[in-house]
Amino acid sequence: MTTRSKPDVPRFYLTTAIDYANGDPHLGHALEKIGADVIARYRRQCGDDVHLLIGMDEHGQKVQQTAAKEGVAPQAFTDNIALRFQAMWARLGISYDQFIRTTEPHHKTGVQALIRRIAERNPDDFYERSYTGMYCVGCEAFKQDADIVDGKCVLHTTRTLEEVEERNWFFRLSKYQGFLQNLLATNPSFIEPESRRNEILGLLAQGLDDISASRARLDWAVPFPLVLSNGETQGTYVWFDALPNYLTATGFPDAGYEQRWPADVHIIGKDITRFHVVIWPAMLEAAGLPLPKQVWAHGFVQLGGERFSKSAGVKLDLGEAIDRFGADAFRYVLLREVPFDSDGNFSWERFEERYTSDLANAFGNLASRAMAMVEKYCEGVVPAAPRPDAELDDDADVEAYHGGLSGTRGWLLHEGLAAVARMTARANEYVAATTPWAVAKDPGRVAELHQILASLIRRIAKQTVMLAPFMPHKVEAVWAQLGAPATASAWHLMELASLNPTGWRVQKGEGVFPRPVAPTLPSPTAASSAPPTS
């Protein structure tokens, strides 16, 4: 629909996992979306034509059952969930370009087109097979004996297992084992980080089983386009419905989808690596379609050291987290604390510590003190002055920043933030080393003073631009106070070296990152620090 043609601009199509429409967005969802958004904003700020896809997985028995329990039609149910997710992404400042829902008519026809295309090109790839087993509705899967205790699935002890015999369409996944092994051998960066690749290599070495592609009794689903020999039409099984969203979002099978497909990177959680690195490439190969260039599996967030789970256990209210210091600060702390290539931890205590030390004390205060001195000693106008050699020390960190965000060595967003933090610390050290307030007392050292202050403002401006993908709103407040032209996010990230603050009229206003006020933690810290009673 919006097939913008910018032939000379690199396109960058990144996707996130579609979220299952069975509950509200939580911390785990947020980490992935925020990370993907940072990458998208970074690429835009590097001049790319970015397309960020986010969406919902809305089919399946669980959705149908939950909707029934609440007495609403499944579509109405998922409509509501989708709105709640979209509202949350808006609050978090997720700059998605497209929001796909698997219940959209175009997605459904796209899935069917893909399946037909596979069947046409490789008639042997879909075949009928009957199967008998214990079916767990919670898992939406047949369970083996080892997972059954007292006749119930160990993961869903409140649900009753159903003995089911059914005839399904199967996909000949086993046929693609060699293809996939070759893919990972010749293109190791197809799945990163490396630990996840090793996992898949081990899995491939064990051999692949064919997988079910359709299911009986699956009413809330895309109708599987092939009819069984007994005349039955079944519902498309979850992964054959969900995975193609990345493709149908580009318009497939309609003309023009090739302008966006293949995706540059699928951002997913480590739990669904297998589906994206085994099943999805096999499906695409079977259909004779190009594969995505990369799959990136991020880790999980633990909450206060405990496992975070949507279905059982620990929860953190996203709205509360956002309200604490604002969406931007939450984005910053989350990505600074949680390595984007492995698991990380999050707690209210760390949140506050990180916010205070990095944003309020280091960066916020740096901006504050620098602007105060420009106002005090230079009537608020940044003086012209040559760049001191000391600033060259930042170059290595700028490089490290790009290394973390460009994807060339993986998507190490936390390393990008660490690099900026080092630059901030270096600027504060520079202030201490040059003591501009002392220099200002000596009329003979005006040139020196000007150089120090201009250098400080330039460093802050540089850091502000670099932080723009992470904190898109806060950063503009700083930018405005600096008196810099246009917006921070408009500044090309490859042209940081050309930042020249000469003549900017700074206006130190309210601190953009105020220190937290006294009784801070929403969790009962007071209670836990009190002496134990009884």
Partner RNA sequence: GGUCCGGUAGCUUAGUCGGUUAAAGCGCUCGACUCAUAAUCGAAGGAUCGUGGGUUCAAGUCCCACCCGGACCA
Which residues of this chain interact with RNA, rule CB under 7 A?
A: 144, 146-147, 195, 198-199, 202-203, 206, 209, 270-274, 300, 305, 307, 309, 337, 339, 342-345, 350, 353, 356-357, 360-365, 367-369, 372-373, 376, 425, 428-429, 431-433, 435-438, 511-515
- Encoded tokens for 66: 């939950």
- Pick the closer one to RNA by CB: 72 or 208: 208
Q: Shortest gap between Cβ of 20 and RNA (angstroms)?
A: 13
Name the residue nearer to RNA (CB basis): 361 or 487. 361
CA distance 282 to 288: 10
Burial group, residue 498, by CB count within 10 angstroms (0-12, 13-18, 19+): exposed
| Cα–Cα distance, 343 to 327 (Å, whole number) | 22
CB of 270 to RNA, least distance (A): 5
In the chain, the amino acid numbered 45 is Q
Q: Which is nearer to RNA, 28 or 55 (CB)?
A: 28
Nearest approach in angstroms of CB 4 to RNA is 37
Shorter beta-carbon distance to RNA: residue 91 or 350: 350
Q: Cβ 513 to RNA, closest distance in Å?
A: 4
Q: How many helices (H) and strands (E) does the chain have?
A: 20, 17
Considering the complex, state which of residue 89 and residue 280 has its C-beta at the smaller distance from RNA.
280
> Which CB, 371 or 493, lies closer to RNA?
371
Cα–Cα distance for residue pair 113/125, rounded to 1 Å: 15
Report d(CA 266, CA 500) in Å as an integer: 37
* Smallest distance from RNA to CB 179, Å: 19
Least spacing, CB of residue 129 vs RNA, in Å: 15
Minimal distance, residue 185 CB to RNA, in Å: 17
Tell me whether residue 113 or residue 431 sits nearer to RNA (CB atom).
431
Nearer to RNA among residue 47 and residue 514 (C-beta): 514
Distance CA 47, CA 406 (A): 12
Give min distance, CB of 372 to RNA, in A.
3
Minimum gap (Å) between residue 227 Cβ and RNA:
27
Cβ contacts of residue 120 below 8 Å, gap of 6+? none
Integer angstrom CA distances of residue 67 from 22, 88, 108, 158, 238: 9, 21, 20, 18, 18
Closest CA to 411 of 97, 54, 14: 14
HEC states along 207-267? CCCCEECEECCCCCCCECCCCCCCCCCCEECHHHHHCCHHHHCCCCCCCCHHHCCCCCEEE
Q: Which is nearer to RNA, 1 or 526 (CB)?
A: 526
Question: How many C-beta atoms lie closer than 10 Å to residue 188's C-beta?
Answer: 12
Whether 137 and 170 have beta carbons less than 8 Å apart is answered as no
Give the Cβ contact number of residue 154 at 10 Å.
Answer: 13
